[in-house]
Amino acid sequence: MWVTIYYIFSYAIFFYTLVAMISLTYLAIRSSVAQKRLLIDAPDDDTIRYTLKSSPITPSVSIIAPAHNEEKTIIDNVYSLLGILYPNFDIIVVNDGSTDDTLKLLIQEFKLKEVPFINLKRVPSKPIRHVYKSEDERFSQLTIVDKEPGGHKSDSTNAGLNVCLSKYFVSTDVDCILEPMALYRMIWHVINSHNPMIGVGATMLMLNGCIVENGRVVEAKVPNNPIPAFQQLEYMRSFLIGKMGWSSHNTLPNISGGFGLFDTEIVVKSGGYDQVSLAEDIDMLLRMVTYMESTGRKYSLAQVPQVSCWTEGPFNVHMLYRQRVRWARGLCEVISHHKKLFFNFRYGRHGAATLPYIFLFEFLAPILEISGFFFMIWLVLINAVNWDTALVIFGMIYIFSVSLIFLVLIYDYTTKSVKWKSTWRSYLKLILVGLIEPFVFHPFVTLCSIIGYINFLRNRGKEWKPIKRKGAKKRH
C-alpha cells in the first residue's frame, strides 16, 4: 500500500508542478504580447497628458484614501496626492476614527471648516460624523470625511463612496505615493476601450529604500533590507507577468487594494466593499464581474505596466508574518464566498478559468508544498529517495524560477516601468535576491499561508491589524 501511495503522490506532484510551470510560461508569453501591443498603441506620457487635458470627454476621478492614526505622515501624504497631474480630480481622505492628532493636523494645515453634506448611503459603512472642506482655494480639491471607526479599510472606502460624485474613483492608501501621471495612464485605457472599462490596475513597487522629495520618488532604489527586497521582486513578477498576462484575456484576478481605478456606479451596484473582508481587492473585483455577467453587460479590465504607485512594505519578519497570514485567510474567505463561480461558464472567463486557477495554483500550492516537504522527510527516513531524480527535478524548478526573474527584469527594462537610480546595480541586486528567494522567502510565505488557512478554519484572525510604517527617506 505504501508503495502505491508513494507513486500516486509522486506523479501527482510532478504533473501539478509541470502544469503550474506551463501556466506561468503561458502568462509570461501573453504578458509579452500585451506589453508589445501597448508599446505600439499607447503614446508617450506627454501625448497622453496633452490629449486628455484638453478633451471634453475626460472623466472625473476621486481619489479615496482611508487614514487611521497617521499623524506622523498625513500632511506630507496629502500634499503628495494634491500634486497629481490630472485636469478633473478630487481627493477624499477618510479619517477612520483616529485617536491621535490626524484630524487636528489636517484641519490646521489645510484650513478646513465643517460643511453640510449629503450622505448618499449607497453602500454600507459606519456613520459619517463630519465632512470638511478647505477655505483656501489652493486646496479646493480636498475633502476630509471624519467617520466612526470601522476597523477595516473597506469600511472607510465605502464611506468615501457615499460622498463621491465622480464617474471613477481610485482606491488607495493615504501613505502610498502616486506617480504624477498615474491617473492619465489609467484613464487612457478607459477612453480607448471598446467596452465599458470597469477597473484598471497599475504596477506598484516598494517605497522602502527610495528617496522622496516633495511627495515624489526622486531616486528609485532596490531596498538594502532583504525583507522588502524580496517583496520588490515578488511585486514585479506579480504585476509584470501575472497581471499583465491575465489582462490580455480580460481576466484580471484582482486589482490591488493599494492602487486601483474603478467605475463608481458598478462598484455601488455590486454592493460596495465587504466591510470585514481581509481580501477586499479580490472580493470587490469578483463581485463586479458577477454583477456584469449576471446582467449580461459587456465590460473590460486593464493593467498598466508602468509603475504608478509606491507603497511601503513590511520591513521586519513580524510585520511580514502578520500581512501574509492575513492575506492567506482572506484568500480562504474569497474562495468560500465566491464558490458558485468555480467552473461556472455563466460568469465568463473568471468563472471558467481565473477562479479555478487561483484555487489550484495559489490556494492549493502551499498545502501541496508542505505535504511534499513532510513526504520528502519520510522518504529520507526510510532511505527511499532517488537522489538523482530528486536533484534533476529540483534543478529544473530552480532554473525555471531564476528564468522568470530574468524575464521580469527584461520586461521592466523594455517597458521602462521604473527609472532606477542605478539600473544595472539594481538589477544585479534583484538577481541576487532571486537566487536565494526559493530557499528563504518562499518557504516563509508558504508557512504563513498554512497558518492563515488554519486561522480561517478556527475562525480566528478576523481583525485587521495595520502594518507599521517607517516612512520614506527624504532628501535633505
- What stretch of H or E contains 157? helix 153-161
Q: Tell me the mean pLDDT in the region 158-162.
A: 94
Whose cell is 516537504? That residue is: 373
User: Does the pLDDT at position 242 exceed 60?
Assistant: yes
Low-confidence winner among 226-230, 351-355, 458-462 (lowest mean pLDDT)? 458-462
Could you give the 3-state DSSP secondary structure of residue 246? helix
Q: Which of 129, 134, 122, 160 is nearest to 82 (CA)?
A: 134
Query: Coil, helix or strand for 468?
Result: coil
Query: Half-sphere exposure of residue 102, counting CA atoms within 13 Å on the CB side?
Result: 23
Q: How far apart are CA 439 and CA 397, in angstroms?
A: 12
Q: Is 454 exposed, middle or buried (0-12, 13-18, 19+ CB in 10 A)?
A: middle
pLDDT at 278 over 90: no
- The mean pLDDT value of the chain amounts to 89
Widest CA span in the chain: 79
Pair type for strands 128-134 and 142-147:
antiparallel
DSSP category for residue 194: S
Q: List beta partners, residue 260.
A: 171, 201
Q: Report the range of poorest mean pLDDT among 154-163, 187-196, 376-385.
A: 376-385
Q: Could you tell me the CA-to-CA distances from 317 to 127, 251, 322 in Å, in that order?
A: 36, 33, 9
Rounded Cα distance between 48 and 132, Å, is 33
pLDDT at 245: 93
Strands 128-134 and 112-114, by their bridges, are antiparallel
pLDDT at 106: 93
Kindly report which listed range (95-104, 287-296, 370-379) carries the lowest average pLDDT score: 370-379
Give the DSSP per-residue string, 410-428.
HHHHHHT---BSSHHHHHH
pLDDT of residue 465 exceeding 70: no
The bridge status of strand 216-219 relative to strand 142-147 is unpaired
63 DSSP β-pair partners: 91, 170
pLDDT, residue 379, reads: 78
| Cβ atoms within 10 Å, residue 79 | 14
- Cα separation, 32 vs 203, in Å, equals 15
Give me Rg for the CA atoms of the chain. 23
**Per-residue pLDDT for 463 more than 80?**
no
Q: What is the pLDDT of residue 158?
A: 94
CA 161-261-57 angle, to 5 degrees, is: 95
* Mean pLDDT, residues 417-441 taken together: 88
Helical H runs in 42-133? Answer: 45-53, 74-82, 102-109
In whole angstroms, give the CA distance from residue 358 to residue 356. Answer: 5
Q: Which residues contact 258 (CB under 8 A, 6 or more apart)?
A: 172, 173, 176, 204, 309, 311
Q: Label residue 4 exposed, middle or buried (CB < 10 Å: 0-12, 13-18, 19+).
A: exposed
For cell 449576471, what's the residue?
294
The C-alpha atoms of residue 34 and residue 471 are separated, in whole angstroms, by 34
Tell me the per-residue pLDDT of 45-66, one tens digit each, with 9 for 90 and over.
Answer: 888 899 898 888 899 999 999 9
The highest-confidence range among 199-213, 368-382, 459-473, by mean pLDDT, is 199-213
Strand ordering across the sheet containing 177-178: 112-114, 128-134, 142-147, 89-96, 61-67, 168-172, 259-263, 197-206, 300-311, 177-178
Q: Compute the distance between CA of residue 331 and CA of residue 277 in angstroms, rounded to an integer.
A: 10
Residue carrying the nine cell digits 484613464: 187
Cα dist from 282 to 201, 250, 256, 331, 468, whole Å: 12, 15, 8, 8, 23
